Structures are given as C-alpha cells and as structure tokens.
Amino acid sequence: DQQVKQNSPSLSVQEGRISILNCDYTNSMFDYFLWYKKYPAEGPTFLISISSIKDKNEDGRFTVFLNKSAKHLSLHIVPSQPGDSAVYFCAAKGNSGGGADGLTFGKGTHLIIQP
Amino acid sequence: DTGVSQDPRHKITKRGQNVTFRCDPISEHNRLYWYRQTLGQGPEFLTYFQNEAQLEKSRLLSDRFSAERPKGSFSTLEIQRTEQGDSAMYLCASSFAANTEAFFGQGTRLTVV
C-alpha cells in the first residue's frame, strides 16, 4: 500500500521555465512533508519542508504548496536550471501508528532540464 | 562537521556471509535513522534511534538484521547470512529533533552475489 505517491516517473522541462512536481498521500495522520533531491550514487539531499499547519513554504527558487483537503503537495522550481536535473522524492511523516518517526517516501520523479 | 558519513561506500559479499555497515551522524543530532533503497523505489524506513535507544523498527527489519548505537553517537547495521534480496543501497540519516529535516549520508551499496 503506497501511502505517498508520485505518479510521474519522469518530467522534462525547458531551462528557465517552471518545474512542477506533484505528490499525493493517503494517510491523514501525516503532518510534516519534505522534498529531497537525489543525484546518482549519492544520498538524498534535503530541499524544503512544510508543516501541515501551513499551505505554502518558499525558499529561493523552491516553493512547496500543501493542499490538505486534497492530500496533495507540489514542489515548484522557478526558474529551472540544468543543475536541477535529478530525482526528486516527496516524503511524509506523522503519527501513523508504526514508523511514526521515520519518513515515508514516494518512488520519485526524475526531472530532466532541457537546454 | 562534514555531515553524515557512511562506511564503506560499496560492499560486495557472497551469499551467506555477514556484513556490517557504520554510520557517523552529524554530531549534535540525537536522532539516527536507517533506510534501504532498491532500484526504482524511494528509501524505505528500517529503524531509528534516539540517542542510544532503538525506538522503532520496521517490519522490513527481519531477524537477520540488527542495529546498534552503543554510545548515542555512531551506529552500526549488521546483516547476518546475507541473501541476494538484501542487495540495495543502505542509507543513514540524522536529525536534531522530531519534525526537523533529516540529513542523509551517501549510502552503502551492498551487492550480494
């Protein structure tokens, strides 16, 4: 049972445009959400997070939006740069009754920035 | 502090052998996590420590797996009688407190032949 879903395995965006990565979750007990970026052969790198009491968090070119009623979050990257090409993971945590402090990850979206 | 450090980066072992991995977290972080990642999947939670106490284990952590964090600093993950299905990237992460971001190490890639 996939509690965090990233339905787009890959996404191609032109350099300078906006990249929008989507994530859906099913567990209403999740209350903290994070986005990680991963290059091949490296560990995930933290990008940005959002608590369930907020609906938006911004950090430079990265903005995360949370829609609790739809159980949906998105990561916006603007403008997209070649170095943004990587796999992006959505992750969630909360008092889910088991694995309460561990993160539950989606399968990732491979973002490709085209020159 | 250079971040979370994992050793070794790569390990190839024969089926049936035991392997041990080490993780050194960021020094002021009291929470330490182990995850496993296989191809095409996101990291999957295995276990977590707060200081030296192992507070949570996933059902993915079979009896062949054991983790320790003896002095609340570095941690080890041991896999006994390795199987081919254990081949994966093993990731360690640490965080300062609950609901703060976890920082990951570069991982140990295990290949069981």
pLDDT one-digit tens code per residue, B42-93: 999 999 999 999 988 888 888 999 999 998 899 999 999 999 999 999 999 9
From the list B31, B45, B104, the residue facing A43 with the nearest CB is B104
pLDDT number for residue A100 = 54
Q: In this structure, are strands B53-57 and B65-68 parallel, antiparallel, or unpaired?
A: unpaired
* φ, ψ of residue B73 in degrees (nearest 5): -115, -95
Is the Cβ of A43 closer than 8 Å to some Cβ of chain B? Answer: yes
State yes or no: pLDDT of A95 exceeds 70: no
Mean pLDDT across chain A: 92
In three-state secondary structure terms, A2 is: coil
Interatomic CA distance for residues A76 and A67, integer angstroms: 14
* φ, ψ of residue A70 in degrees (nearest 5): -90, -5
Interatomic CA distance for residues A108 and A86, integer angstroms: 10
Is the Cβ of A103 closer than 8 Å to some Cβ of chain B? Answer: yes
* CA B97 to the chain's CA centroid: 18
Interatomic CA distance for residues A52 and A61, integer angstroms: 21
Interatomic CA distance for residues B19 and B12, integer angstroms: 9
Percent of chain B whose predicted confidence (pLDDT) is above 70: 99
Q: In this structure, are strands B5-7 and B19-24 parallel, antiparallel, or unpaired?
A: antiparallel
Contact A59, A48 (CB under 8 A): yes
Go through A27-39 and write b for each residue having 16 or more CB atoms within 10 A of its CB, e for each that does not.
beebbbbbbbbbe
B43 and A100: CB-CB below 8 Å?
Answer: no
Is the Cβ of B48 closer than 8 Å to some Cβ of chain A? Answer: yes
From the list B42, B45, B46, the residue facing A106 with the nearest CB is B42
* φ, ψ of residue A36 in degrees (nearest 5): -125, 150
From the list B40, B48, B106, the residue facing A43 with the nearest CB is B106
pLDDT number for residue A99 = 46
Chain A residues with CB inside 8 Å of B55's CB?
Answer: 101
